Structure 1
């Protein structure tokens, strides 16, 4: 029975696709300063959130490992101060540090501690790091959120598809994807070591957040 329900949900989602990360763009923005000099958006995808950051920043860089999606992101007029480049979080040659660093649905693609350490090291003193991650479900709270998320996901998918032109669909990613291996509890344990004082919480739609401010002496 459970497998049949999940199969029907998967079929519905395929017909009504939408970006779960985009549901939290506004929430992330409310955790950022009203103005900042530089920003880095890791896993930028089509660049939607990168452009939202550009409304507040003097300079924004979006990076993604998918060369096709980076070309798509760069196709519209980017305007001054916005740059898109193809690169991996762990190996990308990025100059200096940034006042704001965001990483949406990225950390489960790389070793957790190495990825979070790299993100931390990219944040300038006094800067802000916001991670929106994908946890591996484990325990009662994750299961309960999952139960609530399924009908909510179907409802949002139906509403967003109705509002969107039938000719406009989310752009497919061509880079390899990976299932999440770290639970929310494991993320919190790593965060205590790597980014002490970070605020973490579970969210609907199979996501968690981590918000951390680097002290003025540097991390």
Structure 2
């Protein structure tokens, strides 16, 4: 016989399956607030269906999105009007990154799939002086602060699902079709390794099981 907790978790999972919302897209407006009003070239690593890349096109003269998944990259091209200055390529990071330099680099919920320090070094090398790197990532829960934020995110997650879907069942967004895997680095580990590569980087734990990094190339 299943426990009440197990039944509650299964019910919660069914609820979110019927009312999905993109936790990563929730941070897109916050990302824009970290960036200058105008920029030259921008790079979105792990662009998925191109939602963030198209938003960046409102700030940058040219945006380049890369993703390792050919199907989702093709979908990004389909969703992007010809007049929007965004190009897409199928490429792996960090090996497949073009030389740049870029005034803006963004990376959302992708870094935990990649070699962490090596990828940050590649971003650093491709970021133009005065440029901005913004990362939204995930970390493995371990500390009491992690667990408190995780617990606090559960009721907020339900509220957001209802608000974004207006209480009705909804189809899963194209941006949520990419395969994911759990993070293997804790936030303290991320903090330590990131600051070793990017001195002065600002990192924070966030609600909805995310953490953020902002670094300005002086």
The C-alpha deviation readout for 1:139-198, integer Å capped at 9, x for no partner, is 1111000111011111111221227895x5301666542210011111100011100000
| Alpha carbons 1:191, 1:198 under 8 Å: kept | yes
Gaps of at least 5 residues in structure 1 are none
Q: Does 1:3 align with 2:10?
A: no
**CA–CA separation in structure 2 for the residues paired with 1:213 and 1:93:** 19
Q: 2:161 aligns with which of 142, 145, 157?
A: 157
Secondary structure of 2:63's aligned partner: strand
TM-score, structure 2 as length reference:
0.91
| Alpha carbons 2:49, 2:175 under 8 Å: kept | no
The C-alpha deviation readout for 1:25-65, integer Å capped at 9, x for no partner, is 11111110000001001111111110110001111001111
Tell me what 2:193 maps to. 190
Distance 1:93 1:197, change over 3 A: closer
**1:131: Cα distance to partner?**
0.4
Q: 2:20 aligns with which of 1, 17, 21?
A: 17
Tell me what 2:131 maps to. 127
Q: Does 1:27 align with 2:36?
A: no
Gaps of at least 5 residues in structure 2 are none
> What are the equivalent positions in structure 2 for 1:139-154 lying under 5 Å apart?
139-154=143-158
| Alpha carbons 1:69, 1:173 under 8 Å: kept | no
Q: Does 1:91 align with 2:131?
A: no
TM-score, structure 1 as length reference:
0.91
Aligned residues: 214
Secondary structure of 1:125's aligned partner: strand
